[in-house]
Chains A and B, each alone.
Chain A
Amino acid sequence: MSLFELTWQYLTTAASWTGSGGLLDRLAEQLLLTVTALVLGLLIGLPVALWLGHVGRGGFLAINISNIGRAVPTFALLAVLVTADWPGPAHLGPYGRAGLATLIALALFALPPLVTTTYTAIREVPDDVLEAADGMGMSGVQRFWRVELPLALPLMMSGVRLALVQVWATATIAALVAGPGVGAIIVSGFARNQYSEGIGAAMVVAVAALVLEIAAAGAQRLVEPTRERAVPTKVRAPVGDPA
C-alpha cells in the first residue's frame, strides 16, 4: 500500500481518533494549551503594551520584543525549560506531560505579536484626534478609554489573531521535547517509522490551524462593525512569524 493509502486508512479508522492519546484527545489537549497560553499572554502583555502606548514610552522594547521572539527558536526555549530543574517535564493536570514548561513557552511566544501590535495600534491613533480629545477637556483616563482604545481595537484584534495562530503552531512544536498535543502523534509516528500516522496527524494539525485562522478572522469582523466606515488605510493586515 502506498503512503497516501496508509495515511487515508489511518485517518478513517475510528480507533485513531478515540481513546487516550488518540487524535481527539490530543486535539482537545492542544486547544486547551493554546487558549490558556493566549489568555496568559493577554493578561501579561495587554496592560503593559496599552500603558506604554498611552504614555508613549518604551517603543524600543515594544519593537524589539518581536525581534527577540523571532530569533529565539521555540524548540530551544522548550528544550531549556524541560531540561531545567523547574519547570521540568512534570505532568500538569489536563495539560499533559511537560505541561507547565509548554505553557510558559507558549505564553512567552504569544507576547511579541500581542505587545507589538497593541503598542503600534495605540501609537497610530492620529495626533489631531488626541489633540481634539485634550481640547474637549478629557482627562488622560477618559482619553484612553473613549478615544485611544476604541480606535486601536481593530489592529489589536489582528494582533490577537496572529498570536492565536502562532501559539497553535508553537504548541505543535512542544511535542519535539516530548510534550503534549497532536504534535506528539506526529513525532512518535516519525520516531517509530509509522509515517502514515505522522502525516495523518500533521493533516489534522494543519486543518485545525486553518479553521482557527478563519474562525478568528470571522470573529474579528464581528467585533468591528465600524470598520467599513473607518478611514480606509493602505496598510495590509500584518503577518506574524512562522512557527
Chain B
Amino acid sequence: MTLLGVTAAPAAREPSCYSAFVNEWWCAEYVDDRRDDILAATTEHLQITVAAVLLGLLLAFPLALLARRYPRLESTILGVSTGLYTIPSLALLPLLVPFTGLSANTVIIGLGVYALTILVRGFLDGLRSVPDDVVESAVGLGYGSARLLFKVQLPLALPVLVAAMRVATVSTVALTTVGTLVSYGGLGDLISHGVQRNFRAELVTAAVLCVLLALLLDAVLVVAQRLLTPWARQEAR
C-alpha cells in the first residue's frame, strides 16, 4: 500500500473515482470508504427481508390449512390475498403508516402480505402434490391427522413449498428497496440517496448488492431443500 501510495501520491490522497468532478459507475474507493454504511444498509435489508418472509410463512400456514379444511374458504382466501397482492408496494406502505408509523414494521408487514399470497399458493399446491395413496397408507398405519400432516404431508410438500419460498424471497429482496419511502429500505436508502445526490457509485453498489443478496438467499434455500429432502436426491441419481 505504501509503495503504491508513493508512486501515485497525488491521486491516492484524493478519492479519484468519486468526487464533485468524477462520477464513475463503479468505484472501489467508495466501497472502502463507506464500508460501515454499506454493511449497515445490507444488514437492515437482510433483516427486513427475512422478517417479512417469515411473517408471510407464519400467516400462510394456518390460512392454507383453513382453506384445505373448508374448501369454500379457499376461493375467499386466495381472492383476498390476490387482491392485496395487486396493490402496488408504493401504495401499500402508505396505507399501513396510520397503523404502524414510519417504522421497519411497516415495510415488514407490507412485504409480508405479498409473500403471504405466494406462500399460501405454495402450501396448497405442495400439499396437493402429495400422492393420495401415500396419505392412505399413512392413515392405514394409524397416523392421526397432526402426525400425518407433519410427518408425511409437509415433508412431501417441501419441494413445491420451497419453490414458492424462493419466489417470495427473491421478490421480497427486490421490494425491500421501496421501503425507502418510510426510511427503512435497507440498500434502497442508499439507492435513494444516490439518486438525490447524483452519486452513481453509491446507487450502483447498492443495486449490485441487492441482486447478490437475492442470489445468495436463493442459493441458501436450494441447499436447505436438498438437506431436508434427502430422498429427492436419491431419486435424481
Contact indicator A73/B118 (Cβ below 8 Å): no
Q: Which residues of A contact B210 (CB under 8 A)?
A: 72-73, 76
Nearest chain A residue, comparing its CB with the CB of B94? A202
| Contact between chains at B167 and A70 (CB < 8 Å) | yes
Tell me which of B182, B203, B215 has the highest count of chain A C-beta atoms within 10 A of its own C-beta: B203
A170 to B114, CA, bound (A): 15
Residue from B95, B121, B173, B207 in contact with A80 in the complex, judged by beta carbons closer than 8 Å: B207
Q: State in angstroms the CA–CA spacing of A202 and B86 once bound together.
A: 13
Give, as a whole number of angstroms, the nearest-CB distance from B22 to chain A.
14
* In the complex, B17 has a CB within 8 A of chain A: no
- Collect the chain B residues with CB atoms within 8 Å of residue A4's CB: 98
Given known A199-B95, A206-B95, A243-B175, contact A76–B203 (CB-CB < 8 A): yes
Residues of A close to B173: CB separation below 8 A: 71, 73
Stretch at the interface among B133-141, B154-162, B189-197, B224-232: B189-197
The one of A7, A79, A172, A205 that contacts B203, using a Cβ cutoff of 8 Å = A79
The listed residue with most A CB atoms (<10 A of its CB), out of B85, B94, B97, B214, is: B94
Whether B181 and A187, one on each chain, are in contact in the complex, defined by CB atoms closer than 8 angstroms, is yes
A contacts with B: majority SS: helix
Q: Which of A17-25, A122-130, A151-159, A176-184 contacts B (4 or more CB under 8 A)?
A: A176-184
Asked if B105 is at the interface (CB within 8 A of a chain A CB), the reply is: no
B interface residues (Cβ-Cβ under 8 A, vs A): 78, 82-83, 85-95, 97-98, 111, 114, 117-118, 121, 125, 167, 170-171, 173-175, 177-178, 180-182, 188, 191-192, 194-195, 198, 200, 203-204, 206-207, 210-211, 214-215, 218
Residues of B within 8 A of A177 (CB): 195
Whether A199 pairs with B97 at a CB distance below 8 angstroms is yes
Task: Establish whether residues A67 and B170, one from each chain, have CB atoms under 8 Å apart when the complex forms.
Answer: yes
- Is residue A241 contacting chain B, with contact meaning CB distance below 8 A? yes
Q: Across the interface, do B174 and A168 meet the contact criterion of CB distance under 8 Å?
A: no
Contact A70 B180 (CB under 8 A): no
A206/B92 contact (C-beta < 8 A), A72-B211, A239-B82 known: yes
Q: Is A210 an interface residue (CB 8 A)?
A: yes
Given contact pairs A76-B203, A187-B181, A242 touches B198 in the complex (Cβ within 8 A): no
Q: Are B95 and A202 in contact (CB under 8 A)?
A: yes
The 3 closest A-B pairs by CB, nearest first: A169-B88, A76-B207, A202-B94
* B207 x A172 contact (CB < 8 A): no
Interchain CB contact (< 8 A) of B182 among A73, A173, A190, A213 = A190
Q: How far is the CA of A52 from the CA of B121 in the complex (A)?
A: 29
What A residues does B94 contact at CB under 8 A?
A: 186, 189-190, 195, 198-199, 201-202
As a 0/1 sequence over residues 196 to 218 of chain A, the CB contacts with chain B under 8 angstroms (1 = contact) are: 00110111011001100100000
Which residues of A have CB within 8 Å of B203?
Answer: 76, 79-80, 83
Most buried by B among A71, A190, A209: A71
Cβ A202 vs Cβ B90 within 8 A: yes
B191 to chain A, nearest CB (A): 5
Q: Is the CB of B91 within 8 A of A71?
A: no
In the complex, the chain A residue whose C-beta lies closest to that of B179 is: A75
